[in-house]
Amino acid sequence: MDSLTQIVLGAACGEAVAGRKLGNRAMLWGAIGGTIPDLDVMAEFFTDRMTAMAFHRGFMHSMLFAVIAPWILAQLTLWFYSQGVYRLRGYKLIAMLIWLIFFLGAAAGINFIPVVLNGQISWPVFIPTLMLGAWFTWRLWKDYWKRDLTVVQASYKTWVLLFFVSIVTHPLLDCFTNFGTQIWQPFSDLRVQWTTVSVVDPLYTVPFGICLFLASRFDRREKMRLYLTWAGILWSCAYLSYTYWHKQQANNLFAEHLQARDIQYNRLMTGPTILNNIVWYGLAEGDTAYYFGQAGFNDCIPGFDKISTLPKNHQLLDHIPKDDPAYRFLRWFSNGYYDVLPYGKDTLQVNDLRFGLMGDTLKDKNYIFPFLLFRNERGDWDIYQHNRSPQSPEKFKTAMGELWKQIKGLPCPETR
């Protein structure tokens, strides 16, 4: 899931474990715990791209890490408070800057959505965000910078439990997405991917975040704080259950439409499109091609009416040894769901089809998650995540607009 969602979940876990003892500090440290597994992206600064991508959602997202790390983090946290580091002006200044940078990033992400959909800033979104930013800055100044922070009293076991719950829920939530999470590292590199929720889903995050924000406004001894925290946690569990139910519906619907078109396939998968759980895509693998379609559950008659054929073109990779590290990585990372396109001299485009297409049909090579497979300066095969879509901004905007229309639902044909 996206970082903001993991922060909200981690904060809720911290509050549930130690809110009565630590107040809002429990949310803060839970949010930190919920963020720690994603620090594995820093591997990009120390190793090659392929190794870094394999490491992401690897050991730091594993159950073993969730068991070991809390004992170390709890000891560091006890030292942090016992030495009074949290009261130093220099530390408080750095902490405030980090929180402000985080808020700016979250605000930019929120305001980016209407820009993508409509091509311009939405003032009903921008102005409240600006006001919230001013309020947030004022509260940091008043309640953090100006205030003499109270002494923190929590046992070592409390800190261990807080970090364990906030860390272990991170990879479990990631398993609900289609990226894949190696929760059994270092014993297995199996990527667990249930593919029931989008990596960014505001309907999951926003109500959860509102409950937690309201809870933070109450004294740690008031019952309403506890009720609101658990309301957010229950919303999280209920929504994830709802997405699992939606997936079963999508699986059955896609299989029915494939059968109706007499399409033979070996396996299939379904997943929600970005930012929602209403429009789902289906991907089926045949012997020589994949079959892709989309369906919206808000449509008058939900169904995978358009099914595109995507030739595998795996023969384009025949000259690359099966045990080549780059080729082996692409097969493993995509779980075998990939097709191949010519790109240039000694370069091929390998598309991870688990992420679907930008739209309900294949047009203008609108793959969401393409890789370039090429020979590097040493003559070895290497990969590069090709983030730049071949679509123009106008076509991207059109695709997002079409997705929004499908989320709202296609009307029934008029009957006479």
- pLDDT tens-digit profile of 364-401? 678 888 999 999 888 899 998 876 554 556 666 777 77
Residue position matching structure tokens 């598309």 = 351
Question: What pLDDT, on a 0 to 100 scale, did the predictor assign at position 297?
Answer: 93
Question: What pLDDT, on a 0 to 100 scale, did the predictor assign at position 118?
Answer: 63
pTM: 0.90
Residues 6+ apart with CB under 8 A from 313: 339, 340, 341
Sign of the dihedral defined by the CA atoms of residues 97, 98, 100, 105, in that order: positive
First to last CA, the chain: 46
Q: Please give the structure tokens belonging to residue 370.
A: 């393409």
Alpha carbons 338 and 290: distance in angstroms, whole number = 9
Instruction: Name the amino acid, one letter, at 172.
Output: L
SS3 content of the chain, % helix, strand, coil (to 5): 55, 15, 30
Determine the Cα angle at 344 with ends 325 and 274, to 5°: 70
Q: List 295's β-bridge partners, or say none.
A: 280
Q: List 339's β-bridge partners, or say none.
A: 351
State which residues of the chain have pLDDT below 70: 113, 115-119, 364, 387-396, 413-416
SS (H, E, C) 159-210: HHHHHHHHHHHHHHHHCCCCCCECCCCCCCCCCECCCCCCCCCHHHHHHHHH
CB-CB contact of 399 with 391 (8 Å): yes
Q: Let me know if 207 is exposed, middle or buried by CB neighbors in 10 A (0-12, 13-18, 19+).
A: middle
Instruction: Name the amino acid, one letter, at 296.
Output: G
Alpha carbons 368 and 220: distance in angstroms, whole number = 45
Question: What pLDDT, on a 0 to 100 scale, did the predictor assign at position 107?
Answer: 81
CB-CB contact of 310 with 353 (8 Å): yes
Residues 6+ apart with CB under 8 A from 77: 29, 159, 163
Alpha carbons 348 and 326: distance in angstroms, whole number = 12
